[in-house]
Structure 1
Amino acid sequence: MPKVRCHFISVIMKTFKTIWYIIAMFVFQFLDALKDIRMQSLPSQSVLLGLIAIFAIIMIFFVFNLLRWWKTKIYIEGDTLIVERNQLSQSKTTVKLSSISTVNLQQNIFEKIFDVYTLQLDINSSVTANKTDFSLIFEDQTAFAFRDYILSYLDNGITFNEIPSESASSHSYGMEKNSEQIISFPFKEVLRHCVLSFSFLGGVYAIAIAAAAVCAYFTSGEKTHPVFFPAVLSLFLAVIPFIYKSLTAFLLYHNFILEKNGDKVIVSYGLFTRKQFTLPLDKTNALIIRQPFQARLFNLCYGEILNVGMGGDSSQNQSPIFCLLVKPDVLQSIIHQIAPQFVLEEKEEKSPKTAMIPILIKWGFWGILFLAGFSFFYKWWIGLILFLGFLLCGILSYTTKGLKLYEDKLSVTTGVFDKRTITASYSKIQNTSAKYGPISRLLKLAHGNVSILSSASNQNNSIGYFPEQVFDTIFNQTVSHDSMNKK
């Protein structure tokens, strides 16, 4: 495969990402210069020096990125991806194609103007599980050619001296060749997902700020204007995050499409920035089913797919979503079509009633501290409300937690207001731990944790209080499946 460079536009994009904060620092220099020009006079000496300094910094970074771009070549040799850089110090990064876990394409508005794509590659490594390993900007034909070449190798293990001719043909997001559309989401369902998926605790916090602002405004004995602007500012700060998140989520998940092509899942979405995740199912570690608190009221849930070494969707700090909010039976039907090994055939088991004792002791301890603090330093009734709130959290935590052990996998459910269920094969579990406190040991209960290879947000998964023999079963299943894999 011939050696290629990234598209030249990558030089401009990297330069801007490096210096944008410098430009922001000197924005007043620009304003002063414009003011002087408008008054038909030359800018002051300090303004000119500031503009010259900014221009010099921009040129330094631009030349550096230009030389780096010119000296960097990307190519595939046999079954290896190679990124070669020959500057003052030479470097050569090699990656086996078989170690690539995901091949993703992304195109924002700026990239659309120049008809280029960002090719994102993740490898199955825990070291880089929290970030994208390679982010390469190519013109459209080169980006699709690299993607098709890598996916072809992952499918068949076959390498070519040159890219197949059909790879150089025009491509577009949407239905890929030989792919089957599983589900797509129209406008109203995307909007529903955006409205029902915001953070419940964030909503409580916003309501508290808004209530405090309104109370401060109406109870102030001073003139209206000293309190009015702080109150409006507090309301603005409380409401704007929800408006922003709902708007950006709608733009992010616009025209959401899930497809399956052989043993790969293809997820496409986005309005201004169009993303396409191509996820080989043989490198899938787990599936996650999430139910935000508001969605639980309507019995809706959505799913995330967790592949080995994925950096995930950094804009949302989560793994790629493969399905927006739907009914649980619809989600299980979708899972059955794309990854039947993760279907939850049976209802999960809840913690025994005796588990309420250690759970309420833990939550009640923090509630008592707040009750004592507010009673001593401020108003007792606020502490009482917080104490009752902690007890409510303990009850919700007990009712939410669940566990189900299958022959080849387990599902773990956690949460307080929001509900999260992760399903993983025993062979994908890296380690399991069980903890016994004095009270739980007396009740013959234990709580613990299972960890899998993933990004930090999904690596450790807590298990609620269950009988001790349940953890013995998990230990035995994990060891037996691990030994089978080694054979």
Structure 2
Amino acid sequence: MSYGLFKKVHYTIPVEKINAVKLTQSLQARITGRYMAEVINVGMGDDGTDQKAFLVLYSSRNSMQNYLQMLLPEFSDILAAPAEKQPRVVWAAWLIPFSGYLVAIAAGLLTVLEFRPDFLKQTVIAAAGMTLLFLLSAVCRFFTAGVSVKEDYLILVRGYMRRSVICVSYDKIQHINTKQNFIAQKTGIQKGNLHLLASALNMTQSVPYFREEELDVIKSRMLKTSHAQ
């Protein structure tokens, strides 16, 4: 692979060393239906340069599909695989961080009221704007993020305005850990992190909220591929 305008960058990566493929869409790319692809592997970016292994720069959906089919056919279904969004009960789990945010805002307003009441109006406007931004971010995340448990690979979809899709084979996952607050535990959802053999930048991948029963499926497929090796 190679890229660059004034400075050309060339590198070679054996296919078996590729642990995951990542598709990225900026806000403009989401509107225009374009994608950029990079591969995740061991070593790339560990030299402190934050170097990324670009596979295909921004291209249309059809062009990206053709590139993936030609270069990495084992990942060619990533565009066609439907993204399963987070369960709707995720809104209940988000009540805890939102409650903490409201407490912090209330404490700030009381402090301003106590020591600088002349700035109270500006502070209320700023707090209202930050709250609306917080809610807008939650809405964007709900309609963007998700997890898809497929037969041969796991797909993670993350982002707010920007969107990233990571496709990883089960045999490339080193381990996965999950966590729940008490509302998530009661509603049967969880989130967490999975760990790959990759550079420090890509070693840990966050997993959006998904249903508890899907974790058993992921575990069984991880163990199955491990035993097969």
Q: 2:26 aligns with which of 274, 289, 292?
A: 292
CA shift for structure 1 position 454: 0.8
**Alpha-carbon displacement from aligned partner over 1:48-96 (angstroms, at most 9, x marks no partner):** xxxxxxxxxxxxxxxxxxxxxxxxxxxxxxxxxxxxxxxxxxxxxxxxx
Q: 2:205 aligns with which of 426, 438, 461?
A: 461
Identity of aligned residues (%): 29
* 2:96 is equivalent to residue 352 of structure 1: no
Q: 1:337 aligns with which of 54, 64, 70?
A: 70
Question: How far, CA to CA, are the matches of 2:111 and 2:54 in structure 1?
Answer: 47
CA contact (8 A) 2:46 2:200 kept: no
**Alpha-carbon displacement from aligned partner over 1:361-412 (angstroms, at most 9, x marks no partner):** 4245325524542564242111111011111111212211111122211111
- Structure 2 match to 1:324: 57
Question: How far, CA to CA, are the matches of 1:319 and 1:415 in structure 2?
Answer: 19
Q: How does 1:155-194 map to 2 (within 5 A)?
A: none
CA shift for structure 1 position 271: 2.9
Greater length-normalized contact order (CA 8 Å, ≥ 6 residues apart): 2
SS in 2 for 1:420: strand
- Structure 1, gaps ≥5 residues long: 1-266
**Alpha-carbon displacement from aligned partner over 1:412-431 (angstroms, at most 9, x marks no partner):** 11122221111111000000
**Alpha-carbon displacement from aligned partner over 1:419-462 (angstroms, at most 9, x marks no partner):** 11111110000001121221001111111221101112211111
Q: Which amino acid aligns with 1:440?
A: A
Q: 1:304 and 1:364, CA in 2 relative to 1: closer, same or farther beyond 3 A? A: farther
Q: 1:305 aligns with which of 39, 42, 47?
A: 39
- Structure 1 match to 2:154: 410
- Structure 2 match to 1:438: 182
Normalising by structure 1, what TM-score? Answer: 0.42
SS in 2 for 1:457: coil
Q: How does 1:3-42 map to 2 (within 5 A)?
A: none
Q: 2:133 aligns with which of 389, 392, 415?
A: 389
Question: How far, CA to CA, are the matches of 2:43 and 2:213 in structure 1?
Answer: 32
CA RMSD across the alignment: 2.0
- Structure 1 match to 2:116: none
The aligned length equals 218
- Structure 2 match to 1:20: none
CA shift for structure 1 position 313: 8.7
Question: How far, CA to CA, are the matches of 1:419 and 1:313 in structure 2?
Answer: 26
Question: How far, CA to CA, are the matches of 1:401 and 1:457 in structure 2?
Answer: 20
SS in 2 for 1:353: coil
CA shift for structure 1 position 296: 1.9
Q: 1:430 and 1:313, CA in 2 relative to 1: closer, same or farther beyond 3 A? A: same
Question: How far, CA to CA, are the matches of 1:397 and 1:323 in structure 2?
Answer: 26
Give the structure with higher Rg (CA).
Answer: 1
- Structure 2, gaps ≥5 residues long: 113-118
- Structure 1 match to 2:115: none
Question: How far, CA to CA, are the matches of 1:386 and 1:275 in structure 2?
Answer: 42
SS in 2 for 1:287: strand
Q: How does 1:164-243 map to 2 (within 5 A)?
A: none
